[in-house]
Amino acid sequence: MPPDQSEVPITARNVDLSNCDREQVQFCGAIQPHGVLLVLSEPDCMITHVSANTEERLGLTSEDLLGQPIDRLLNHEEAQLFRRQVSHEKNLTCPPVCLFTAPVPGPMKEAYFFVHRNENGLLIVELEGKGLPGPVSLQDLYSEVRASMADLQRTESLQAFFDLAVSRIRRFTGYDRVLAYKFLEDRSGWVLAEDREEGLESYVGLHYPASDIPEPARRLFSMKWISHLPDVGYEPVPLIAKQGEEEKPLDLSYSILRSVSVMYSGYLKNMGVKSTMVLTLLKNGKLWGLISCMHHRNPKHVAYEHRTAAEFLAHLMSLAMASKEELQDREYVGQLKGLHATMMEQMLRHVNFQEGLLRHETNLLSYFGASGAVVALDGHLHKLGRTPDDSRLKDLVTWLADHMGQDTYATDRLSAAYSPAAAFHELASGLLALRLFTHKPHFILWFLPEVAKTVNWAGDPHKPVDVSRIDGEERLIPRASFALWKESVRGSSRPWRESELAAAADLRRAIVDVVLRKAEELARANEELTRSNVELDAFAYIASHDLKEPLRGIHNYARFVLEDYEDKLDAEGQKKLRTMMKLTERMDELINGLLHYSRLSREALEGEPTDLASLVRRVVQSLKPRLDELQVAVRTTGPLPTLSVNPVMFQEVFANLITNAMKYNDKPEKWIEIGVSAEEPASQRTVAAQEEGMTVLHVKDNGIGIPTRHQEQIFNMFRRLHARDAYGGGTGVGLTIAKKIIERHGGRLWVESEPTVGSTFFIALPR
């Protein structure tokens, strides 16, 4: 079956501007001739593909190698070493790893073995002979890199950093020209630093159109720290597959020998470049720029050790460069944060937040060096500085309301996105807009004035390729002219900085989250706090006086009896007294814990995965003496789940529910059932909770039941339906505490009951 058109590698005959950005160069099916490529299957290490130059480089034909194990190329000992290293090396999906050097047959004699796994899980093995020595010896290479990094760290500006970087890289690679190339916001490139051999024309300050480095090339640069093309004029070496493997495209994204696009090699030829090496510069994982090394006199192969040093330096440079940029931005960020604090203070002093933004010496114009600012609310425009007139502003706000997909919008070429802005480009070529509310056209706008400038292009940016007639056909070829082309740019402001966009977003959050929303939340919080404090005071009083004092007396009397009458008590009596003391100590701890919880009830709870079956067993065991005394059977129906809860508090929940169930029961055969509610028909509240994705548990008894009119009242603080001493007495706080604990876990507690039949307490909890 023919491959999809989008996956056809671009050649000299089918290239056009529409498919340059779709070219899948990783599937080119060819390599550069200075090395050999083998593809191995795993785990047998059988050769499935070879480059067509194996006979020239290794003295072995493709027929000699295809379908054979790696042992056909290496001796037994080296083949075993290869297998061991490949099986133990887990990180082979990244750029190739140099496993070792080994003797090989044929003219290559000795080769580096570079290995990686491609996206299809195949082993890509690349052999490269040892290159000529570099201008810096291997002994001095480490010292050179270390000294370079130390000197780079001491530079005071980004420009000084790159001026020194290109000089040092050229010194230990030996290239004619090394330049630093930064990608701008419009995706074009700009040469900001260069070190070159005397007599070569300077490229510093030149701009290159985005089409010079299409998207596939940028993607591959982002994946690899280094790319090396020793001979721009090379003839690609095709890959040969064993029978049955021909139709499968081979992904060579990380290959060091992969053939390059014909547009790229043609472009370099037109520049007079014979060899190149490119180092990638990343910032926060994104392509920031390139260090491009060029040789104009003749092809140049850089030895592996020197490439590794350059790659290491690219890593360090990316980190240091990001640090330099952040350092330059830090002072400005500090100023913006100071402005933010002042604006916050001013807004909080006014009923209407816009007064704090507009009516003080420090106002919206204090941000970003803006020439004008507008707050658009409910059709009203509040303006500062130089802005377009009201009718044009209202049209702009309408356009923003229809086209802004996010809360923040920034452009340094407003007229390019919104053509009516051409009428006021001198006032407002740059725009930063904040949308305050999703469903209302409320905006804050900042304007930057036009900055007219002249851009020096390396050739005509509007003619990124040339058309030539070859073999009777018109074809696109890389542009051949790089003569200086000056372009006057109008309708642009200075670019917006990332720190400015972040500061604007911070201001929006302050307005929306703090000023507008927090006022209502504060009122609700005060109301809730007042109610909670009343409950807390009442609870603290009853716990401190009605519960803790008798408990302390019980504990002390048990201790006195044990101390004074120990010799008169048998072992069983002593054991029971000690058990009583332990139980009172535990009860005191629970009360103290509940008091503490009540004071902190508004704070978030930290749950942990808890096996409820185990938790219920512990609770039942702690209540066993009382259960045995009242002859109450406790059973569980089906397995109980593991949920994220606070286990200490949920022991209290089940202890309260089980205690109530065994107390309020007058049947001769008493039982309590605990399980997951899944029976049919389920109650309306149970179904609703389950539809919300909650787990619903139940604690069911066959006790006296609760009349319908009292089923909500029983959860009120201190509410008892019976006399103080009836059914064993109590304070009436247990169900209140249980309900609060469950609600703090995002759940619900309710009861369904029928007098004389029994009660079922339902616990709905998030899964």
Write the CATH number for 111.
3.30.450.20
- pLDDT grade for 335, boundaries at 50, 70 and 90: confident
Q: What is the pLDDT of residue 250?
A: 84
Cα separation, 765 vs 742, in Å, equals 8
Q: What is the pLDDT of residue 724?
A: 47
Q: What is the pLDDT of residue 36?
A: 95
Residues 547 and 612 in one domain: no
Q: What is the pLDDT of residue 766?
A: 85
Q: What is the pLDDT of residue 436?
A: 86
Report if residue 467 sits inside a domain.
no
Beta bridge partners of 125: 38, 115
Region 510-539 average pLDDT: 67
Residue 212 has pLDDT above 90, yes or no: no
Q: What is the pLDDT of residues 635-664, one digit of tens each?
A: 988 889 888 888 888 888 899 888 888 888
Range(s) of the domain holding residue 424? 350-450
Residues 628 and 748 in one domain: yes
- pLDDT grade for 58, boundaries at 50, 70 and 90: very high
Residues of the chain above pLDDT 70, percent = 80
Report if residue 363 sits inside a domain.
yes
Residue 717 has pLDDT above 60, yes or no: no
Residue 600 has pLDDT above 80, yes or no: no
Region 115-122 average pLDDT: 84
Q: What is the pLDDT of residues 76-104, one digit of tens each?
A: 999 999 998 888 776 677 788 888 889 99
C-beta of residue 460 within 8 angstroms of C-beta of residue 485: yes
For residues 460-497, b (16+ Cβ closer than 10 Å) or e, as one string?
Answer: ebeebbeeeeeeeeebbbbbeebeebeeeeebbbebbe
Summary mean pLDDT of the chain? 80
Q: What is the pLDDT of residues 445-460, one digit of tens each?
A: 999 988 765 445 555 5
Indicate the DSSP class of residue 603. Answer: S
Whether cis (ω within 30° of 0) applies to the bond prior to 209 is no
Residue 529 has pLDDT above 70, yes or no: no
C-beta of residue 325 within 8 angstroms of C-beta of residue 158: yes
Q: What is the pLDDT of residue 18?
A: 46
Q: What is the pLDDT of residue 136?
A: 58
- pLDDT grade for 237, boundaries at 50, 70 and 90: very high
Looking only at the bridges linking them, the beta strands covering 47-51 and 35-40 are antiparallel
Report if residue 5 sits inside a domain.
no
Cα separation, 577 vs 572, in Å, equals 9
- pLDDT grade for 214, boundaries at 50, 70 and 90: confident
Residues 613 and 696 in one domain: yes
C-beta of residue 378 within 8 angstroms of C-beta of residue 369: no
Residues 631 and 746 in one domain: yes
The CATH number covering residue 628 comes to 3.30.565.10
Q: What is the pLDDT of residue 336?
A: 87
C-beta of residue 725 within 8 angstroms of C-beta of residue 738: no
Q: What is the pLDDT of residue 719?
A: 53
Residue 331 has pLDDT above 90, yes or no: no
Q: What is the pLDDT of residue 176?
A: 92
Read off the pTM: 0.55
Q: What is the pLDDT of residue 70?
A: 92
Q: What is the pLDDT of residue 476?
A: 43
Beta bridge partners of 127: 36, 113
Lowest mean pLDDT among 188-202, 484-498, 633-647: 484-498
Report if residue 312 sits inside a domain.
no
Residues 586 and 642 in one domain: no
Residues 655 and 587 in one domain: no
Report if residue 540 sits inside a domain.
yes
Q: What is the pLDDT of residue 712?
A: 75
Residues 428 and 510 in one domain: no
Residue 748 has pLDDT above 60, yes or no: yes
Q: What is the pLDDT of residue 603?
A: 55
Report if residue 138 sits inside a domain.
no
Extract long-range pairs of 67-71: CB within 8 Å, 24+ residues apart: 67/242, 69/44, 69/45, 70/38, 70/40, 70/45, 70/125
Q: What is the pLDDT of residue 177?
A: 92
Residues 367 and 513 in one domain: no
Residues 578 and 700 in one domain: no
- pLDDT grade for 8, boundaries at 50, 70 and 90: very low
Region 661-688 average pLDDT: 78
Name the residue with higher pLDDT: 587 or 618: 618
For residues 590-603, b (16+ Cβ closer than 10 Å) or e, as one string?
Answer: beeebbebbeeeee
Report if residue 384 sits inside a domain.
yes
Show which of 97, 129, 161 is a domain's final residue.
129
Residues 659 and 735 in one domain: yes
Region 30-48 average pLDDT: 92
Residue 487 has pLDDT above 60, yes or no: no
Lowest mean pLDDT among 180-189, 289-298, 468-477: 468-477
Q: What is the pLDDT of residue 480?
A: 47
Show which of 129, 151, 178 is a domain's final residue.
129
Cα separation, 373 vs 354, in Å, equals 12
Q: What is the pLDDT of residue 544?
A: 54
Pick from 303, 124, 299, 134: which is nearest to 229 by CA? Answer: 299
- pLDDT grade for 164, boundaries at 50, 70 and 90: very high
Residue 492 has pLDDT above 50, yes or no: yes
Whether cis (ω within 30° of 0) applies to the bond prior to 43 is yes
Residues of the chain above pLDDT 90, percent = 21
Report if residue 591 sits inside a domain.
yes
Lowest mean pLDDT among 364-368, 455-459, 608-612: 455-459
Residues 623 and 764 in one domain: yes
Show which of 112, 129, 146 is a domain's final residue.
129
The CATH number covering residue 375 comes to 3.30.450.270
Q: What is the pLDDT of residue 661?
A: 85
* Number of compact structural domains in the chain: 4
Residues 505 and 623 in one domain: no
